[in-house]
Amino acid sequence: MSVQLNVVPFVSVDKMMKLVLAIGIERFLSELAATIEEDFRRWHVFDKQPRVASHSADGVIELMPTSDGTTYGFKYVNGHPKNAHSGRQTVAAFGVLADVGNGYPMLLTEMTILTALRTAAMSAVAARHLAPKGARTMAIIGNGAQAEFQALAFKALVGIDSLRLYDIDASASAKCRRNLGRFGFDIRLCSGAADAVEGADIVTTATADKQSATILTDNLVGPGIHINAVGGDCPGKTELHPDILRRSDIFVEYAPQTRLEGEIQQLPADHPVTELWRVIAGEATGRRDGRQITLFDSVGFAVEDFSALRYLRSVLAGTRFFEDLDLLADPDDPRDLFGMLLRAGP
Amino acid sequence: MSVQLNVVPFVSVDKMMKLVLAIGIERFLSELAATIEEDFRRWHVFDKQPRVASHSADGVIELMPTSDGTTYGFKYVNGHPKNAHSGRQTVAAFGVLADVGNGYPMLLTEMTILTALRTAAMSAVAARHLAPKGARTMAIIGNGAQAEFQALAFKALVGIDSLRLYDIDASASAKCRRNLGRFGFDIRLCSGAADAVEGADIVTTATADKQSATILTDNLVGPGIHINAVGGDCPGKTELHPDILRRSDIFVEYAPQTRLEGEIQQLPADHPVTELWRVIAGEATGRRDGRQITLFDSVGFAVEDFSALRYLRSVLAGTRFFEDLDLLADPDDPRDLFGMLLRAGP
């Protein structure tokens, strides 16, 4: 990293993709998952502010800050379901890591790809504690931008080698199978949700519509499975029938946020849930037995983004996968900002 | 501006300085002031969220978001008084403007220099409504990074041509005089605050220490002057003796924030103040008569940063004062983020 005070390392989309491929997608996911577990084990040190949301008719723009007292991170992320119609991502993001001691940013990075990776890594971390032992088959319902990342994270961290794919748009499933061709999965394209969940140890739901839909009904959910609910992640958007929730042991990232944004917005505000960090820290039990239905009601939390930024920074040093961004004014004399401006003239 | 969806225009420190000099500092300040006035006149359209602050022993990191319903802006800014000892700015900032309709950022920029300019422009906007008619002499107490910007904004917008400078560090005043040499001011270096305020129509206080100090005592403040209090801008940091406040008509940006951060934190929470937008919009009176003491208790508000970002964007188009930043993943098919990642390989 540079010692010039004006410069902030910047990871562009192009550099991020090349970095991830240079490290290897599965290794990146595994190391990122390890960083998330590390941070979840020290959950109490984090400043857990609610995200700062600016809602509009078409979507939301959010700032998600957190700090461990030494390092500060935030993510800017939008959520605009109609964006796909204009060729844009429904979710795009960038983030910053900064030094709490002097307030200076020390990393600026794209986070659209990084968020896809951290969401998948987070799901796999949860599944390591919640999925049935020896799970090898996962259904993925909703085969959009998150599907392949989920598949690879569950391969790397849980041992999934068989996928059952379903999407209302068959071309999405075909895209998913094509992209995963080189990774050694046994892949089956399914004709519906009922077909997809048959024989699955884990069911991942990752649909994208900003509305409450019932992707899974109660009769489809057999004993012993783990449900990884990724798509229901904002007020008014859920994927699961409430009867499934009532039969499941529910695990969440941060209960105050999940009660607003997750599947459990369909349940009374006092319905018991377990925060996942307690399981990871050994303070609560994850899966108890082979017949229990476990549910990870994932909405994404600032600490995970912090982990992702922290992991990214740790692998950047000494690489060529960042640029120097001239982001911070750095006059020779801090009181002489104006003099610096004048001296920039011809 | 680019039509590539992945690209966000970025204004580096170097480009910002060159842009400001190309436009001309005084013209930049005047046009920025006009944009601030425009936005203050439509005050009710803005989403006025409190800033999101992360405090630590050494300082604070803040996110300051706002939106007019069409455009969203936020500023990242730190405040670390000890930074000067390590050659860093006590305040460094960057900001983003985004499209509310699709959530995509449309401008990323350094804001250390831009904030210095908007703070000065804001002060001058206030003084146009509050300072005595025909004011030509301004005292500036505290001759650090903000001083010259204040001087030029008051020259361009209020007609100040005579400056009386004082700083506990005489070298700061000398620096200020040197930097302002080419701008045609009559400049006098003063031996103390009492000397500086003598004959001044306007007194600007812009000291930097993060503590309550009494830069101005009551006996120094004569009738008819306008006080532009820039330096007292966070909890525990004030510059003026409370007796001065009690004799003044006080104008603020956004009362809920100023009561926490401004000079008026020394007064009861119900002490009457006038929000400046009401004066600008013609709903309240600014200066009534020649003996009234007016006080602008400036702390900086998100709407001003929004105006600064909006003005910056308006002057960028067609210039060479920005770079294209590859910040947003833009797969050909929005559902195929993973495929884009794979295709970045060799």
Question: Predicted ipTM?
Answer: 0.93
Rounded Cα gap, residues A331 and A334, in angstroms:
5
Rounded Cα gap, residues B179 and B181, in angstroms:
6
| B51 shares its domain with B134 | no
Q: Is residue A212 part of a domain?
A: yes
| A222 shares its domain with A290 | yes
| Inter-chain touch B334–A84, beta carbons under 8 Å | yes
| Inter-chain touch B52–A65, beta carbons under 8 Å | yes
Number of domains chain B is built from? 2
| Inter-chain touch B116–A337, beta carbons under 8 Å | yes
From B92, B179, B337, residue closest to A329, measured CB to CB: B92
From B10, B88, B344, residue closest to A21, measured CB to CB: B344
pLDDT in tens, chain A (346 residues): 346 888 999 999 999 999 999 999 999 999 999 999 999 999 999 998 778 889 999 999 999 999 999 999 999 999 898 887 888 888 899 999 999 999 999 999 999 999 999 999 999 999 999 999 999 999 999 999 999 999 999 999 999 999 999 999 999 999 999 999 999 999 999 999 999 999 999 999 998 765 667 788 888 888 999 999 998 666 777 888 999 999 999 999 999 999 988 999 999 999 999 999 999 999 999 999 999 999 999 999 999 999 999 999 999 989 999 999 999 998 888 889 999 999 998 8
Rounded Cα gap, residues A165 and B182, in angstroms:
71
Mutation for testing the A interface, residue in B26, B83, B335 having most A CBs under 10 Å = B335
- Which of A267, A285, A300 delimits the end of a domain? A300
Q: What distances in angstroms separate CA B326 from CA B4, B35, B138, one per listed residue?
A: 9, 29, 45
3-state secondary structure A238-295: CCECHHHHHHEEEEECCHHHHHHHCHHHHCCCCCCCEEHHHHHCCCCCCCCCCCCEEE
Mutation for testing the A interface, residue in B13, B26, B209 having most A CBs under 10 Å = B13
CA count, 13 A, side-chain hemisphere, B26: 13
| B260 shares its domain with B163 | yes
Asked whether A43 and A277 are in contact (CB, 8 A), the reply is yes
Q: What distances in angstroms separate CA A303 from CA A108, A118, A274, one per listed residue?
A: 17, 11, 17
Phi and psi, residue A317, nearest 5°: -55, 135
Q: How many Å separate Cα B291 from the centre of its chain? A: 28
The CATH number of residue B323's host domain is 3.30.1780.10
| B75 shares its domain with B136 | no
Mutation for testing the B interface, residue in A12, A89, A99 having most B CBs under 10 Å = A89
> Helix or strand or coil: residue A58?
coil
Which is catalytic among the residues A39, A167, A233, A297? A233
The per-residue DSSP string of B136-156 comes to: -EEEEE--STTHHHHHHHHHH
Is residue A233 annotated as part of the catalytic site, yes or no? yes
| Inter-chain touch B65–A63, beta carbons under 8 Å | yes
Q: Is residue A1 part of a domain?
A: no
Phi and psi, residue B279, nearest 5°: -70, -45
From A72, A116, A338, residue closest to B61, measured CB to CB: A72
The CATH number of residue A266's host domain is 3.40.50.720
Rounded Cα gap, residues B325 and B313, in angstroms:
15
| A32 shares its domain with A94 | yes
Low-confidence ranges of chain B (pLDDT < 70): 1-3, 209-212, 232-234
Give residue B325's domain range.
7-113+303-343
Region of B135 (left: φ > 0; alpha: ψ -120 to 50; beta: rest) is beta
| Inter-chain touch A328–B149, beta carbons under 8 Å | no
| Inter-chain touch B329–A13, beta carbons under 8 Å | yes
| B147 shares its domain with B249 | yes
Phi and psi, residue B85, nearest 5°: -65, -25
Q: How many residues does chain B have?
A: 346
Given 3-state DSSP classes, what are the helix, strand and coil percentages for chain B, each rounded to the nearest 5?
40, 25, 40
Rounded Cα gap, residues A39 and A45, in angstroms:
9
Asked whether B71 and B101 are in contact (CB, 8 A), the reply is no
Which is catalytic among the residues B233, B297, B324, B333? B233
